[in-house]
Amino acid sequence: MKREMVKFLILTAVVLLAPLLFTGGYLMNVLVFVGINTMLAVGLNLLLGFAGQISLGHAAFFGLGAYGSGILTATYAVNPWLAMLLSAGAVALLAFLVGFPILKLKGHYLAMATLGLGIIVYIVFNETVDLTGGPSGLSGIPNLSFWKLTFDNDFKNYYLIWGFTLLIMLLSINLVNSRIGRALRAIHDSEVAARVMGVNARLLKVQVFTLSALISAVAGSLYAHTMTFISPASFGFHFSIELVTMVIIGGLGSIYGSLLGAVLLTLLPELLRAFQDYDIIVYGLLLISMTMFMPGGLVKGIPAGIALLLPGRRRRGEHA
Amino acid sequence: MLEIRGITQRFGGLTALEDVSFAIEKGLIKGIIGPNGAGKTTLFNIVSGIYPPTAGSILLESRNISHLPTERRAALGMVRTFQNIELFGQMTVLENVMVGLHVRSRSGILSCSLKLPGHLAEERWIREKAMYWLEFTGISELADIRASSLPFGKGRLLETARAMALEPGILLMDEPAAGLNSRETAELAVLIRKIRDLGVTIVLVEHDMELVMDICDSIVVLNLGKTLAEGTPREIQENQKVISAYLGEG
């Protein structure tokens, strides 16, 4: 447990000090996205990596959070913090209700059902033009503010987003190292044995699905208030797949892995600009080779690589 | 303690069990034996709630539990082990046993993620209890090993420790000696008696006749989905119907 605390404090220090190194505005903007994607990947990992349940529609919850906040504040002038609370609550309720029938399904069928959910929500964003502004988007969303501090530039947004990201990571690390986390991993390994041990697998899956959707909705609200403009294109099928990729590349069942996955997949397209039109090919090749040579994700692959260079060290398995 | 009353199970046109009834007395070791295809595993799956019976009922301490889901039966103090051991392979040996304490602990998602004081105390208690059951089954030195890397015999012990962590009133063991060598089987007999001495009722489906005759207080013989005989090990060994069922005589 103490090692857990030290790891987290180091991360916090890195996050706090990072802006001192990069004063450039553009990179700060990218790091804001890294934070948002980390929240989303951590939320999805609770479902996919720990409970072992796939969702190919998580962009929908992200989008619902964003549109909930966006519409309430831009159209109805509700206080942004209240709007965030309301949309997170509504998304959680929706996920809970949808979760019961959907999570009865397993494997490919669950993938199809969540995919369908994502597509339906995406169509709603596009078609309810009066409410969402349709394909051309919704603008004029106010920034969040706290007393006299308004989060209206990349520097301030960086600390706002990463404050939330660190909080969500800390709570998730606590959760996965508790009886609930163990029950989730037990369901992943053998659902029948978990049930024999008295774990209410059905309810727990719905609960973690709800929690995962709730985290995505909060990330969505934060996204809306930092960007001040949202459009359906950010919440489509493509983004759902990208989130799943972040979780898998980072490391299933590892909270820090999700951070690494989000960092890599957010920064990679920026770094690959040099390849111009061929960037997508390099991107694809990287993903294929990483899944082939690092099946445990970055979080296991990097230490294994270091261990290869420094032989004679033994590692203990830990979950965080 | 446990009463099996008129259980019938049909899978499509196949009748796996037909009107099977018997009772299991508290604190004893009951053996269920029978030739292959007799319906032993089907009966076990019904008793542990993997699927509901076509007809009949299961009474646990006079309470009808026939239609309770598996996880509710665990909360009522009934737990089972599996013939092909079902461990949580990616978790450590200790964590496997800690899952066994799930129904005996309460902390919810909120209290776990906020690390509330009550949760921390509970977590410490879970860890201590889990270590106790690892010591009870003699595998505490393996606590930090990943369960999937255990040899089969140790896996069997771990599954038993995990089941005992629930502190069940009744323990159902599905062929616990399958895949064990003779030394491991002898150790298992000692362990089963030790569990019985804690006041736990044990139901055993087993092929190893030597083990069954050695440790069971009473035995039920199933054949072709029906109860063939019931009695003490001695009575069963002398029963003409049982002998012919096993030797395949008409």
Does residue A130 have a pLDDT over 70? Answer: yes
Q: DSSP H helical segments within chain A, as ranges?
A: 2-21, 25-45, 58-70, 80-102, 107-127, 129-132, 154-176, 179-189, 191-196, 201-227, 237-250, 255-271, 279-293, 298-309
**Beta-carbon separation of B88 and A180 below 8 A:** no
Q: Give pLDDT, residue A219.
A: 98
Fold of the domain spanning A2-309: ABC transporter involved in vitamin B12 uptake, BtuC (1.10.3470)
Domain boundary among the residues B167, B196, B227 is at B167
Q: Give pLDDT, residue B248.
A: 67
Q: Give pLDDT, residue A190.
A: 94
Domain boundary among the residues B110, B144, B167 is at B167
Whether B70 contacts chain A with CB within 8 A:
yes
In this structure, are strands B218-223 and B29-33 parallel, antiparallel, or unpaired? parallel
Task: Express as a percent the part of chain A with pLDDT over 90.
Answer: 72
Same domain, B149 and B183: no
Q: Give pLDDT, residue B250.
A: 47
Touching B: A residues 162-181, CB under 8 Å? 171-172, 174-175, 178-181
Same domain, B142 and B175: no
**Beta-carbon separation of A181 and B112 below 8 A:** yes
Which residues in chain B show pLDDT less than 50?
Answer: 250
Is A259 strand, coil or helix? helix
Whether B50 contacts chain A with CB within 8 A:
yes
**Beta-carbon separation of B109 and A194 below 8 A:** no
Whether A11 contacts chain B with CB within 8 A:
no
Q: Give strand pairing partners of B29.
A: B202
Average confidence (pLDDT) over A15-40: 88
Domain boundary among the residues B113, B145, B167 is at B167
Whether A300 contacts chain B with CB within 8 A:
no
Across chain A, what does the average pLDDT equal?
91
Which structural domain range is residue B121 located in?
A: 86-167
Same domain, B115 and B178: no
**Beta-carbon separation of B107 and A174 below 8 A:** no
Same domain, B160 and B177: no
Task: Tell me, letter by letter, the H, E, C secondary structure of chain B.
Answer: CEEEEEEEEEECCEEEEEEEEEEECCCCEEEEECCCCCCHHHHHHHHCCCCCCCEEEEEECCEECCCCCHHHHHHCCEEECCCCCCCCCCCEHHHHHHHHCHHHCCCCHHHHHCCCHHHHHHHHHHHHHHHHHHHHCCCHHHCCCEHHHCCHHHHHHHHHHHHHCCCCCEEEEECCCCCCCHHHHHHHHHHHHHHHHCCCEEEEECCCHHHHHHHCCEEEEEECCEEEEEECHHHHHHCHHHHHHHHCCC
Same domain, B68 and B125: no
Place of tokens 């965030």: A84
Split at pLDDT 50, 70, 90, the class of A317 is very low
Split at pLDDT 50, 70, 90, the class of A318 is very low
Q: Give pLDDT, residue A302.
A: 84
Does residue A313 have a pLDDT over 60? Answer: no
Q: Give pLDDT, residue A157.
A: 92
Q: Give pLDDT, residue A137.
A: 94
The continuous run of DSSP H or E covering A149 comes out as strand A149-150
The residues, any chain, with a CB within 8 Å of residue A54's CB and separated by 6 or more, are: A48, A107, A110, A111, A114, A244
Q: Give pLDDT, residue A312.
A: 55
Query: How many contacts does A have with B, using Cβ atoms within 8 A?
Result: 102
Does residue A310 have a pLDDT over 80? Answer: no
Same domain, B61 and B101: no
Model confidence pLDDT, tens digit, residues B106-121: 888 999 999 888 888 9
Does residue A314 have a pLDDT over 70? Answer: no
Assign residue B189 the CATH number of its domain: 3.40.50.300
Whether B127 contacts chain A with CB within 8 A:
no
Q: Of B88, B107, B166, which is closest to A185 when you measure between CB atoms?
A: B88
Same domain, B176 and B145: no
Split at pLDDT 50, 70, 90, the class of A270 is confident
Q: Give strand pairing partners of A149.
A: A146
Whether B120 contacts chain A with CB within 8 A:
no
Number of domains in chain B: 2
Whether A186 contacts chain B with CB within 8 A:
yes
Model confidence pLDDT, tens digit, residues B44-92: 899 999 888 999 999 999 899 998 999 999 999 999 999 889 999 999 9
Is A48 strand, coil or helix? helix
**Beta-carbon separation of A193 and B92 below 8 A:** no
